[in-house]
Amino acid sequence: YAAKASGHGVAVHDDVADRAWRQRLALSDDLHLALGPEAGPEAAEQFEVHYQPQVSATGGTGAGRVVGVEALVRWQHPRLGMLAPGAFLDVLEERRLMPALTALVARRAVADLTEWRAAGHDLRLSFNLSSTHLSDPGLLPLLDELVTSGADPAHVVVEVTETSLMNDPDRALATCQDITARGFSLSIDDFGTGYSSLAYLANLPADELKIDRTFTSRALADERIAAIVAGTVELAHHLGLRVVAEGVEDPATLDLLHELGCDESQGYLHSRPVPAAEFLRWLQARERVPAVL
Ligand code: C2E
Ligand code: MG
Ligand code: MG
Ligand code: MG
């Protein structure tokens, strides 16, 4: 890169790659400033937690009860505006700042949950753990801190992707056992995109399985995909797991997923991920008119 930057033989087609590279470098520095060891408390304000509801299948289409929310992070970047996790999570991992971010998300989300529950909303909260955080020595102290801060772990679900479990299955299993021993629930996220064995799955102390959007979005158009969903639901139920369908965008797909046995659904059909105050307004409006989607 040094040679290119000095101006010798810079090819035009490299401009795009160059800009992406520079952008990544800048993001990396910005993340370090916002989340690194020297970051001030105000820097954390750049990160927002948005919430997406999870709706129970019971009661039929449109009548399902809102049973939970998933916390999803957004970065209000000082120059670039609102960034979705896909724009910065891998840079975060590279800088080893993922545990710091997820701790921030978990603390804030648990505080919001406590408020909502105190106001009479019977909800549970899910937050996402990355694979690096799964093997981070700070994880269990963080979970203990959440409990000390007043959260009831019985209402908190820790989501781990199937893929991240497979990086180091034995170690991941031990950590999952540590998580559930503290009273938290465990959810297997993005299920169907990894290569976990049925034997491994049966040993995990999981309570929930989330069927990845790549399956739910194709179930209506492709009978074979629908068969995979049906088989996954049956297996999960035999193992005592609740099944959540991710990424549900239309009523016909929701109906099919209910027919296939999914217990809960999450997706743009119900709501996009929104800030806490907006979620609460959405929830209150829905509770006033329970039969309307
Ligand atoms: P995920 O945990 O599988 O979360 C679901 C993603 O699907 C979210 O993307 C959500 O906005 C999106 N989604 C939900 N419903 C629909 C739908 O109907 N249609 C479509 N097209 N998309 C839908 P998002 O918020 O961009 O997050 C992407 C991923 O980033 C998450 O996938 C999760 O793995 C990760 N992530 C988000 N927040 C955190 C965090 O605080 N910590 C960690 N470690 N990872 C996070
Ligand atoms: Mg998730
Ligand atoms: Mg997911
Ligand atoms: Mg996903």
Kindly report, residue by residue over 225-282, the tens digit of the pLDDT.
Answer: 999 999 999 999 999 999 999 999 999 999 999 999 999 999 999 999 999 999 999 9
- Whether this model's pTM surpasses 0.90: yes
Q: Give, in degrees to the nearest 5, the angle at Cα 107 between 203 and 105.
A: 80
Query: CA 270, CA 273: separation in Å to the nearest integer?
Result: 10
Taking the centre of ligand 3 as the mean of its atom positions, its distance from the CA of residue 194, in whole angstroms, is: 12
- Distance set, CA 229 to CA 32, 216, 226, 288 (Å): 41, 8, 5, 33
**CA-proximal residue: ligand 1, atom 7 (nearest):** 247
**Size of the chain in residues:** 293
Binned at pLDDT 50, 70 and 90, residue 8 comes out as low
55 lines ligand 1 (CB under 6 A): no
Mutate to test the pocket of ligand 1, among 91, 112, 128, 208 (most ligand atoms within 8 A of CB): 128
Mutate to test the pocket of ligand 1, among 72, 89, 91 (most ligand atoms within 8 A of CB): 72
**Does the model's ipTM exceed the 0.90 cut?**
yes
The pairing of strands 124-129 and 208-211 is unpaired
For the segment 170-198, what is each residue's pLDDT rounded down to a tens digit? 999 999 999 999 999 999 999 988 878 87
Query: CA 38, CA 128: separation in Å to the nearest integer?
Result: 25
